[in-house]
Amino acid sequence: MTTIQTPPQPAVVRAETVPHTKPKDPLLSRTWVKVGLPLLVLALGVGAWEVASQTGLVNPITVPPASDTFAAMIDLSTKDYFWHAAWITLQETLLGFLIGSTLGLVLGALTGTFAVFRTALWPFIVAIQNTPRVALAPVFLTWFGFGMTSKVVMAAVICFFPVVINTVAGLSSVDANARMLFRTYGATTSQTFFRLTLPTAAPVTFAGIKTALTLALLGAIVGEFVGASEGLGVLVNEFNFQLEVAMGFAVVVYLAVIGLILYALIEWLERRLITWSN
């Protein structure tokens, strides 16, 4: 019997599907556009504010014109008491941020790494998050007094949870197959941490740290509103009580500037430390 051999078929090469990515607009990537567009929006907003106040669309007594607010900002910048109050608030913010973020990193690392800590601590962490933390300000005032300590604690409590939840999320995002691959090749625990876990979790964790820093400023101001003898929150209360609304608005604008500067600094630090995130 004659056996008929079938010639080998050529291998079928399948073209890989390349995900379609929308090309970036070269105009929007230019530096002058990135700076100019926000400044344009700011100018339009300030102009609308000025027109609304000057024309009576809003009550100029309760919402002073932008020109009056900026004049008050210039006046405040010449006052020693303003810079002293700003320094007090900045200290409360940074100390609260350091304490809250450090505790958040430690507890987040323990909770995200060890199941026993996750089982034991997670219900209490969620309870802290679901508690109206602004309502804790009078409690902290009773416990720690009218000094800086109660404001630092308030700032720490408010910025604690974003760091915890992002740390846990970052650790949970490490691919199980990648862990198995590291284990297969005999990687030590420290090698796995520094070459897999840390590079994967750090960008997610840093997002929580950026949020926490801005929330720390909010916590310090809330504490000063409830009860304090110095700080920018105290100045806002005093100016509004004295019906110097433009001065109060000026302090609020300065608070926004401080928040933007802090956010820019932490974002700059992120770009320097986490160079692999992109």
Q: Which residues of 60-71 are buried (b: 16+ CB within 10 A; e: fewer)?
A: beebbbbebbbe
Task: Give the confidence band of 27 by pLDDT, cuts at 50, 70, 90.
Answer: low
pLDDT of residue 100: 92
Q: Residue 4 domain-assigned?
A: no
pLDDT of residue 193: 76
Q: Residue 125 domain-assigned?
A: yes
Domain interval for residue 136: 86-231
CB count within 10 Å of CB 10 equals 6
Q: Residue 184 domain-assigned?
A: yes
Q: Residue 159 domain-assigned?
A: yes
Give the chain's domain count. Answer: 1
pLDDT tens, residue by residue, 158-168: 988 889 988 88
Mean pLDDT of the region 169-183:
80
Q: Residue 47 domain-assigned?
A: no
pLDDT of residue 23: 54
Both tokens assigned to 33: 């556009």
Long-range CB contacts for residues 241-244, cutoff 8 Å, separation at least 24: 243/61, 244/72
113 within 8 A of 164, measured Cβ to Cβ: no
Residue carrying the six token digits 């990515």? 21
pLDDT tens, residue by residue, 47-76: 888 888 888 787 778 888 888 888 888 999
Residue bearing the bigger pLDDT, 34 or 41: 41
Flag whether pLDDT at 177 surpasses 60.
Answer: yes
Residue bearing the bigger pLDDT, 18 or 55: 55
Q: Residue 276 domain-assigned?
A: no
| Residues in Cβ contact with 234 at an 8 Å cutoff, skipping those fewer than 6 apart | 85, 224, 228
Q: Residue 74 domain-assigned?
A: no
| Residues in Cβ contact with 71 at an 8 Å cutoff, skipping those fewer than 6 apart | 246
pLDDT tens, residue by residue, 205-223: 888 888 899 899 998 999 8
| Strands (E) located in the chain | none
Flag whether pLDDT at 153 surpasses 80.
Answer: yes
Both tokens assigned to 168: 């846990």
| Residues in Cβ contact with 274 at an 8 Å cutoff, skipping those fewer than 6 apart | 202, 203, 206
Residue 107's domain is classified under what CATH number?
Answer: 1.10.3720.10
Q: Residue 237 domain-assigned?
A: no
